[in-house]
Amino acid sequence: MRFLSKLALGILAITLLWYIVEPVYTYRFRLTIEADTPSGPRSGSSVIEVRSYDTNVGFIEMRGRHARVIGEAAFADLGQGKNVIALLAGGEHAQGVDLFRELVRLVFEDELKPHGYSLAAMANLRGKKRIAPHLIPTLATFSNLKDPKTARIVAPDAFDGAFGAGYTFRQATLEMVPAGWWPLNTIGITGTPITRGIEKKLLWWDQPGRPAVAAWKALVADNVVGSIGPETLFKE
Protein backbone atom coordinates (compact mmCIF):
# COMPACT_ATOMS: atom_id res chain seq x y z
CA MET A 1 0.00 0.00 0.00
CA ARG A 2 2.85 2.38 0.82
CA PHE A 3 4.39 1.70 -2.57
CA LEU A 4 1.10 2.44 -4.35
CA SER A 5 0.61 5.62 -2.32
CA LYS A 6 4.11 6.83 -3.19
CA LEU A 7 3.54 5.92 -6.84
CA ALA A 8 0.27 7.87 -6.91
CA LEU A 9 1.93 10.88 -5.29
CA GLY A 10 4.79 10.66 -7.76
CA ILE A 11 2.43 10.61 -10.73
CA LEU A 12 0.51 13.57 -9.29
CA ALA A 13 3.72 15.52 -8.75
CA ILE A 14 4.91 14.86 -12.30
CA THR A 15 1.51 15.87 -13.68
CA LEU A 16 1.48 19.11 -11.70
CA LEU A 17 5.03 19.90 -12.79
CA TRP A 18 4.07 19.30 -16.41
CA TYR A 19 1.11 21.66 -16.08
CA ILE A 20 3.40 24.31 -14.60
CA VAL A 21 6.04 23.97 -17.33
CA GLU A 22 3.53 23.60 -20.18
CA PRO A 23 0.10 24.55 -18.83
CA VAL A 24 -3.01 23.14 -20.47
CA TYR A 25 -5.68 25.76 -21.08
CA THR A 26 -9.29 24.63 -21.10
CA TYR A 27 -12.20 26.54 -22.55
CA ARG A 28 -15.78 25.60 -23.32
CA PHE A 29 -18.35 27.06 -25.67
CA ARG A 30 -21.99 26.50 -26.52
CA LEU A 31 -22.60 25.99 -30.22
CA THR A 32 -26.21 26.76 -31.15
CA ILE A 33 -27.94 26.36 -34.49
CA GLU A 34 -31.28 28.05 -35.15
CA ALA A 35 -33.86 27.60 -37.88
CA ASP A 36 -37.34 28.82 -38.75
CA THR A 37 -39.97 26.18 -39.46
CA PRO A 38 -43.69 26.28 -40.34
CA SER A 39 -44.41 25.59 -36.66
CA GLY A 40 -42.06 28.31 -35.39
CA PRO A 41 -38.37 28.71 -34.53
CA ARG A 42 -36.38 25.63 -33.53
CA SER A 43 -32.85 25.32 -32.19
CA GLY A 44 -30.31 22.87 -30.88
CA SER A 45 -27.07 23.34 -28.99
CA SER A 46 -24.05 21.52 -27.64
CA VAL A 47 -21.43 22.52 -25.07
CA ILE A 48 -17.98 21.58 -26.34
CA GLU A 49 -14.61 21.68 -24.61
CA VAL A 50 -11.19 22.34 -26.09
CA ARG A 51 -7.99 21.57 -24.18
CA SER A 52 -4.96 23.27 -25.67
CA TYR A 53 -1.29 23.66 -24.92
CA ASP A 54 1.82 25.04 -26.61
CA THR A 55 5.06 23.13 -26.54
CA ASN A 56 8.60 23.93 -27.63
CA VAL A 57 10.19 20.65 -26.56
CA GLY A 58 10.68 17.34 -28.31
CA PHE A 59 11.05 16.66 -32.00
CA ILE A 60 10.23 19.48 -34.40
CA GLU A 61 7.02 17.81 -35.58
CA MET A 62 5.84 17.65 -31.95
CA ARG A 63 6.26 21.37 -31.32
CA GLY A 64 3.60 24.03 -31.69
CA ARG A 65 0.01 24.25 -30.56
CA HIS A 66 -1.93 21.10 -29.76
CA ALA A 67 -5.63 20.83 -29.03
CA ARG A 68 -8.13 18.16 -28.12
CA VAL A 69 -11.85 18.57 -28.72
CA ILE A 70 -14.31 16.93 -26.32
CA GLY A 71 -18.03 17.01 -27.01
CA GLU A 72 -20.58 16.17 -29.66
CA ALA A 73 -22.50 17.52 -32.63
CA ALA A 74 -25.37 19.94 -32.04
CA PHE A 75 -28.74 18.32 -32.84
CA ALA A 76 -31.88 20.31 -33.62
CA ASP A 77 -35.33 18.73 -33.93
CA LEU A 78 -37.19 20.69 -36.63
CA GLY A 79 -40.47 18.90 -36.05
CA GLN A 80 -42.46 16.77 -38.49
CA GLY A 81 -39.72 14.14 -38.35
CA LYS A 82 -37.10 16.55 -39.69
CA ASN A 83 -33.75 17.31 -38.11
CA VAL A 84 -30.48 19.13 -38.67
CA ILE A 85 -27.11 18.42 -37.09
CA ALA A 86 -24.04 20.65 -36.90
CA LEU A 87 -21.24 18.13 -37.35
CA LEU A 88 -17.86 18.39 -35.62
CA ALA A 89 -16.28 19.45 -38.91
CA GLY A 90 -16.51 22.17 -41.52
CA GLY A 91 -16.48 22.46 -45.27
CA GLU A 92 -18.73 21.43 -48.11
CA HIS A 93 -18.06 17.73 -47.51
CA ALA A 94 -17.19 17.79 -43.79
CA GLN A 95 -13.53 17.68 -44.72
CA GLY A 96 -12.51 20.37 -42.23
CA VAL A 97 -11.98 18.08 -39.27
CA ASP A 98 -9.79 20.63 -37.46
CA LEU A 99 -12.41 23.39 -37.49
CA PHE A 100 -13.37 23.06 -33.84
CA ARG A 101 -9.75 23.36 -32.72
CA GLU A 102 -9.66 26.81 -34.34
CA LEU A 103 -13.30 27.95 -34.19
CA VAL A 104 -13.02 30.15 -31.09
CA ARG A 105 -9.93 31.91 -32.43
CA LEU A 106 -11.65 32.54 -35.76
CA VAL A 107 -14.99 33.71 -34.35
CA PHE A 108 -13.44 35.94 -31.66
CA GLU A 109 -10.56 37.14 -33.83
CA ASP A 110 -11.08 40.82 -33.04
CA GLU A 111 -11.06 40.18 -29.30
CA LEU A 112 -8.05 37.86 -29.35
CA LYS A 113 -5.77 39.63 -31.82
CA PRO A 114 -4.56 42.26 -29.30
CA HIS A 115 -3.48 39.37 -27.04
CA GLY A 116 -1.62 37.51 -29.75
CA TYR A 117 -4.27 34.78 -29.86
CA SER A 118 -2.82 33.38 -26.65
CA LEU A 119 -4.38 30.33 -25.03
CA ALA A 120 -4.73 32.23 -21.76
CA ALA A 121 -6.81 34.87 -23.53
CA MET A 122 -9.01 32.18 -25.08
CA ALA A 123 -9.56 30.56 -21.69
CA ASN A 124 -10.69 33.91 -20.27
CA LEU A 125 -13.03 34.81 -23.10
CA ARG A 126 -16.68 35.51 -22.37
CA GLY A 127 -19.53 36.55 -24.60
CA LYS A 128 -21.60 35.33 -27.51
CA LYS A 129 -21.14 35.96 -31.22
CA ARG A 130 -22.77 34.98 -34.46
CA ILE A 131 -20.68 32.59 -36.54
CA ALA A 132 -19.82 33.94 -39.99
CA PRO A 133 -21.36 31.92 -42.85
CA HIS A 134 -18.03 30.52 -44.05
CA LEU A 135 -17.25 29.22 -40.53
CA ILE A 136 -20.57 27.47 -39.87
CA PRO A 137 -19.92 23.76 -39.22
CA THR A 138 -21.10 21.31 -41.85
CA LEU A 139 -24.84 20.77 -41.49
CA ALA A 140 -26.36 17.34 -42.06
CA THR A 141 -29.75 15.69 -41.79
CA PHE A 142 -31.15 12.16 -41.62
CA SER A 143 -34.47 11.43 -43.29
CA ASN A 144 -34.62 8.37 -41.02
CA LEU A 145 -32.80 8.55 -37.70
CA LYS A 146 -32.77 4.74 -37.57
CA ASP A 147 -30.89 4.45 -40.86
CA PRO A 148 -27.37 5.94 -41.17
CA LYS A 149 -27.52 5.59 -44.96
CA THR A 150 -30.19 8.32 -45.14
CA ALA A 151 -27.66 11.00 -44.17
CA ARG A 152 -27.08 13.95 -46.44
CA ILE A 153 -25.41 17.33 -46.17
CA VAL A 154 -27.64 20.38 -46.36
CA ALA A 155 -26.32 23.88 -47.05
CA PRO A 156 -27.56 26.72 -44.82
CA ASP A 157 -29.13 28.45 -47.84
CA ALA A 158 -30.89 25.29 -49.06
CA PHE A 159 -33.22 24.44 -46.20
CA ASP A 160 -36.38 24.98 -48.24
CA GLY A 161 -35.16 22.53 -50.85
CA ALA A 162 -34.10 19.97 -48.26
CA PHE A 163 -37.05 20.24 -45.86
CA GLY A 164 -39.81 22.05 -47.76
CA ALA A 165 -41.48 25.44 -47.82
CA GLY A 166 -41.25 27.42 -44.60
CA TYR A 167 -37.91 26.02 -43.46
CA THR A 168 -34.97 28.42 -43.37
CA PHE A 169 -31.68 28.45 -41.55
CA ARG A 170 -31.47 31.45 -39.26
CA GLN A 171 -27.99 31.48 -37.70
CA ALA A 172 -25.30 29.67 -35.76
CA THR A 173 -23.86 31.23 -32.61
CA LEU A 174 -20.92 30.54 -30.33
CA GLU A 175 -21.13 31.45 -26.66
CA MET A 176 -18.20 31.09 -24.26
CA VAL A 177 -19.24 29.36 -21.02
CA PRO A 178 -17.35 28.61 -17.77
CA ALA A 179 -14.99 25.67 -18.05
CA GLY A 180 -14.45 25.26 -14.31
CA TRP A 181 -11.22 24.40 -12.56
CA TRP A 182 -8.76 21.65 -13.40
CA PRO A 183 -8.81 18.83 -12.41
CA LEU A 184 -12.38 19.07 -11.06
CA ASN A 185 -13.75 19.95 -14.48
CA THR A 186 -12.39 16.72 -15.95
CA ILE A 187 -14.81 14.73 -13.80
CA GLY A 188 -17.74 17.07 -14.20
CA ILE A 189 -17.72 18.71 -10.76
CA THR A 190 -17.17 22.28 -11.97
CA GLY A 191 -17.90 24.20 -15.14
CA THR A 192 -20.81 24.13 -17.57
CA PRO A 193 -21.38 20.42 -18.33
CA ILE A 194 -20.20 19.11 -21.67
CA THR A 195 -23.19 17.92 -23.71
CA ARG A 196 -23.57 14.17 -24.01
CA GLY A 197 -26.25 11.85 -25.39
CA ILE A 198 -26.13 12.25 -29.18
CA GLU A 199 -26.34 8.48 -29.51
CA LYS A 200 -29.85 8.63 -28.03
CA LYS A 201 -30.94 10.89 -30.88
CA LEU A 202 -29.07 9.09 -33.65
CA LEU A 203 -31.01 5.87 -33.24
CA TRP A 204 -28.63 3.99 -35.56
CA TRP A 205 -25.62 4.61 -33.31
CA ASP A 206 -25.73 1.27 -31.46
CA GLN A 207 -26.31 -0.88 -34.51
CA PRO A 208 -23.78 -3.70 -35.13
CA GLY A 209 -20.53 -2.85 -36.85
CA ARG A 210 -19.66 0.78 -37.45
CA PRO A 211 -22.84 2.48 -38.64
CA ALA A 212 -21.08 5.86 -38.55
CA VAL A 213 -19.06 4.67 -41.55
CA ALA A 214 -22.29 4.20 -43.51
CA ALA A 215 -23.42 7.68 -42.46
CA TRP A 216 -20.10 9.20 -43.51
CA LYS A 217 -20.19 7.48 -46.91
CA ALA A 218 -23.72 8.76 -47.47
CA LEU A 219 -22.64 12.29 -46.52
CA VAL A 220 -19.57 12.54 -48.73
CA ALA A 221 -20.90 10.41 -51.60
CA ASP A 222 -18.12 10.15 -54.19
CA ASN A 223 -16.16 13.12 -52.89
CA VAL A 224 -12.66 12.31 -51.67
CA VAL A 225 -12.05 14.03 -48.33
CA GLY A 226 -9.05 12.16 -46.99
CA SER A 227 -8.68 10.08 -43.87
CA ILE A 228 -11.20 10.57 -41.07
CA GLY A 229 -12.73 8.69 -38.16
CA PRO A 230 -16.45 8.79 -39.09
CA GLU A 231 -17.55 8.57 -35.45
CA THR A 232 -15.69 11.81 -34.67
CA LEU A 233 -18.06 13.75 -36.92
CA PHE A 234 -20.69 13.19 -34.24
CA LYS A 235 -18.84 12.60 -30.98
CA GLU A 236 -15.35 13.20 -29.61
pLDDT in tens, 76-127: 999 999 999 999 999 999 999 999 999 999 999 999 999 998 888 988 999 9
Q: Is a pLDDT exceeding 80 seen at residue 234?
A: yes
pLDDT, greater one: 23 or 75? 75
Q: What is the pLDDT of residue 119?
A: 85
User: Residue 220 contacts by C-beta under 8 Å, 6 or more apart in sequence?
Assistant: 93, 94
Average pLDDT over residues 57-62: 53
Q: What is the pLDDT of residue 183?
A: 64
Q: What is the pLDDT of residue 1?
A: 57
**pTM of the complete model:** 0.85
pLDDT in tens, 190-226: 789 999 999 999 999 999 999 999 999 999 886 666 5
Q: Which residues sit opposite 153 in a β-bridge?
A: 140
- Measured between alpha carbons, how far is 226 from 228 in angstroms, rounded to an integer? 6
Averaging pLDDT over each range in 14-23, 54-63, 71-80, 89-98, which range is the top one?
71-80
pLDDT in tens, 147-190: 999 999 999 999 999 999 999 999 999 999 998 776 667 666 77
Q: Is a pLDDT exceeding 60 seen at residue 20?
A: no
Q: What is the pLDDT of residue 156?
A: 97
Q: Is a pLDDT exceeding 50 seen at residue 18?
A: no
Cβ 45 vs Cβ 74: under 8 Å: yes
Q: What is the pLDDT of residue 170?
A: 98
How would DSSP label each residue in 153-189? Answer: E--GGGHHHHH-TT-EEEEEEEEEE----TTGGGGTS
Q: Is a pLDDT exceeding 70 seen at residue 13?
A: no
64 falls in which pLDDT band (50, 70, 90)? low
Q: What is the pLDDT of residue 21?
A: 47
Query: How many CA atoms lie within 13 Å of 53's alpha carbon, on the beta-carbon side?
Result: 12
